[in-house]
Structure 1
Amino acid sequence: MSDVIVRVAARGDGITADGRHAAYAAPGDTLTADNVVVPGPHHQTPPCRHFPVCGGCQLQHLDDASYADFLTDRITGALAAQGLTAPIRPPALSPSHTRRRATLHAEAKGGGLQLGFSEQASHAIVDLRECWILTPTLFALVAPLRKLLDRALKGRARVHLTELDQGIDVLIEGTIADGLAIAEAITAFCGTNGVARLAIDDGIGPETRWEPEAVTITLGGVAVPFPAGSFLQATQEGEAALVAAVREAIGDARISADLFAGLGTFALSLPGKVYAAEAGRDAIFALKAGAARAGRAVFAEHRDLFRRPLISAECDRFTAIVLDPPRAGAKEQIAQLAESKVPVIAYVSCNPSSFARDAEILSKGGYTLDWIQPVGQFRWSTHAELAARFSRQG
């Protein structure tokens, strides 16, 4: 007896029609009676030597077609749980080797330093010797960074790497040894490897050790200051897909709001006048500085939208509202939007479940979910993102 894998569940297991689960199975694979997976037409050979141990990827065994279907199924299932349906477009997938930001773990162990992603559901570190998701520029820094940390790191650290306009931003959350020799080694490492900034956070906030030129990230054609550890969309391709979907959703809105604006990924790409609200002080000040320097019509406000959401009367001032909340969604703000008269809402989400919950609230408030654009910028992971358009008639 054998069964065919019909879909991939949210955590990455393949599932047969009668509910049997199998790890690392793709749709079209066959699961035998003794639970052996026989590869089918959508099962590809994982390209990376670290798969499946490395926690950076869970789905390298899926080809592009089945990976796209997985993203669509995640969204369809979340909507169905709320009694909703919507037109879902083909997912926009970021290619391999395009991840421009990553958080690695480092630890001295076994006479050397290990640097890489954690194993799945473990604190053990996979010492990266190749990577199919990081950009070549980011991965090229791994070996020299391993050498530096082997000499300088005390204990364990988290290392945040981000590609910026001037080069790579490095933020080390951990303790680095003191002394002139270590300081000189850091300077040599940065100068040799095209590092734009290196900062160390030993528990009391980032301290910059290297930044020959003020670092920025270009968003919507505007160079925005980049505070250490700030959020940035994972790939340029993913950012472009999300921005394009938002622009399509709101059209030529004369005055719009960008809620949970961050550094201005969307605010700086919107037409007309824009109000931007963000709870992160450093992020909103960076957005304000970048917009002012570029002469953009953006009014940026430091505002916690969980504690103080825009009330419905404030929302009514705008011809369109864009929101990109964290994974928990925006239940408090959505409740106000559901009572508003805003004609169009563009909702960007990194969590189909919280999105579907919020979509159900908007639907009960009289909004129509017009379409959803899935975006797969965390390639080969179970992480699904989307942009959606809601409209109110009359």
Structure 2
Amino acid sequence: MTEDQEIIRIAAKGDGVAADGRHFARTAPGDMVKADGTIVQGPHHVVPLCRHFGTCGGCQLQHLDEISLAGFVTDRVVNAAAGQAIEVGELLPTHLSPPRSRRRATMHAMRVHNGAVIGFREAGSHRIVDLTECHVVAPEIFAAIEPLRGFVARHAGKGNLDIELTLVDQGIDCSIRNLTLEGLAATEAAVELAQSAGFARLSADQGYGAETMWEPEPATVTLSGVATPIPVGSFLQATRDAENVMVADALAWSQGASTIADLFSGLGTFSFALSKKAKVLAVEAAREQHLACKTAAGVSGRPVHAMHRDLFRNPLMSNEVGRFDCVLLDPPRAGAKEQVGQIAASNVSRVIYVSCNPSSWAKDARKLVEAGFRLEKLRPVGQFRWSTHVELTSYFTR
């Protein structure tokens, strides 16, 4: 490089991109890269809050200020639409979840000669960063790390453990995979851990599926006022604030619809909100989540009909889709190619698409546009703060 270059944007994986197209790790827009490779920090480069940043793989963008972080999330979504030549009617304000708001996280742990390590993995490595602080997860989740560290040090066998921590109505739901409990003492110690740490539930997978070891009362998560059973390992939006924004968008965009199909509905995050003013068909392939939604609908009396159906192998057909005033879908990262094809072929005129992958969303959105839909509204959502994982809500009409 023979002359200074300015960092003009952040690439999808978090590197700064200079005007000549070269990538530089942990740089921010406005930074200058000198001819000798020296980085001169610009006005959007801030001091990372966490001592583990740069090693821990949980965050890639903690060196960006709020303006640049929001810009990154926005650009990921807008560029995905532009890449498929999709015109955006109205770009709504980007939502960023605040620090320490993540209500679910999967950590890793391992017994070592002098105790145990527990935390996220290093970027591009299986090595575990032993967390002493975290500015992403909710304080209740971080508080669970220390008692878990002591338990792993005394009772875990060889190899890595995966520990899922989720904040539910009753407290922390802790699920440990790859845990082998040898003897009665270890089993009793696990129960004592749950009691002393105040866990809402403790489950362990010793190779035969998750087994609940402690659950003094059924674990639930409240969705739009409905206490819903939450099976071990269930999907839940990462932060409450992002869930509230997404639900508010869905309510606003479905206004006036009397029948709504909620596809890939999970526990019913959107179904129970939409059922306040409409009849909702909640379609989900995961059996336990489907049954949880069905149970909660029955107890609450909400007009939600839960259907167990694999929408990848057996999507709602166009004539079935056409029976509804509005369709909402929130598929996994792979998108919903087959289901979107049936939606495009139907006569439904309103579609709300929530996505956790702008790339697969854009491909599906292209099919809707080709079928006569217009992208009316689009909102970028950054609920995985300081990571490169980006989500969105979108509204299509025809």
TM more than 0.5: yes
Percentage of pairs with the same residue: 51
Distance 1:353 1:13 in 2: 18
**Counterpart of 2:323 in 1: which secondary structure?**
coil
2:115/2:150 contact within 8 Å kept: no
Give the counterpart of 1:265 among 262, 269, 278: 269
Distance 2:394 2:24 in 1: 32
2:112/2:153 contact within 8 Å kept: no
Distance 1:75 1:34 in 2: 34
Q: Is residue 138 of structure 2 the alignment partner of residue 124 of structure 1? A: no
1:93/1:379 contact within 8 Å kept: yes
Amino acid at match of 1:59: L
Give the counterpart of 1:356 among 362, 371, 391: 362
How much does 1:247 deviate?
Answer: 1.2
How much does 1:186 deviate?
Answer: 1.7
Q: What does residue range 47-86 of structure 1 map to in structure 2 within 5 Å? A: 47-86=49-88
Give the counterpart of 1:376 among 370, 379, 382: 382
Q: What does residue range 83-122 of structure 1 map to in structure 2 within 5 Å? A: 83-86=85-88, 87-122=90-125
Give the counterpart of 1:12 among 8, 11, 14: 14
Match of 1:236 in 2: 240
Deviates more, 1:180-189 or 1:378-387: 180-189
Match of 1:142 in 2: 145
Distance 1:352 1:242 in 2: 15
**Counterpart of 2:145 in 1: which secondary structure?**
helix
Match of 2:287 in 1: 281
Give the counterpart of 2:29 among 16, 27, 30: 27
Distance 1:290 1:208 in 2: 21
Match of 1:321 in 2: 327
Amino acid at match of 1:385: E
Deviates more, 1:85-94 or 1:114-123: 85-94
Q: Is residue 220 of structure 2 the alignment partner of residue 216 of structure 1? A: yes
Deviations 1:343-377 (A, max 9, x none): 21000000000000000000000000011111111
Deviations 1:299-320 (A, max 9, x none): 1000000111111111111001
Distance 1:39 1:110 in 2: 41
**Counterpart of 2:267 in 1: which secondary structure?**
coil
Q: Give the alignment's TM-score, normalised by structure 1.
A: 0.98
**Counterpart of 2:393 in 1: which secondary structure?**
strand
2:122/2:128 contact within 8 Å kept: yes
2:358/2:391 contact within 8 Å kept: yes
1:22/1:37 contact within 8 Å kept: no
Q: Is residue 280 of structure 2 the alignment partner of residue 245 of structure 1? A: no
**Counterpart of 1:175 in 2: which secondary structure?**
coil
How much does 1:110 deviate?
Answer: 4.2
Deviations 1:126-169 (A, max 9, x none): 00100000101100110111101111111221000000001100
Distance 1:358 1:203 in 2: 37
Distance 1:56 1:175 in 2: 23
Deviates more, 1:180-189 or 1:220-229: 180-189
Match of 1:158 in 2: 162
How much does 1:176 deviate?
Answer: 2.6
Distance 2:267 2:207 in 1: 24
How much does 1:63 deviate?
Answer: 0.7
Q: Which runs of 4+ in 1 moved over 3 A?
A: none
Amino acid at match of 1:48: C
2:100/2:135 contact within 8 Å kept: yes
Q: What does residue range 324-335 of structure 1 map to in structure 2 within 5 Å? A: 324-335=330-341
Give the counterpart of 1:344 among 340, 344, 350: 350
Distance 1:239 1:336 in 2: 27
How much does 1:2 deviate?
Answer: 1.1
How much does 1:341 deviate?
Answer: 1.4
2:164/2:174 contact within 8 Å kept: yes
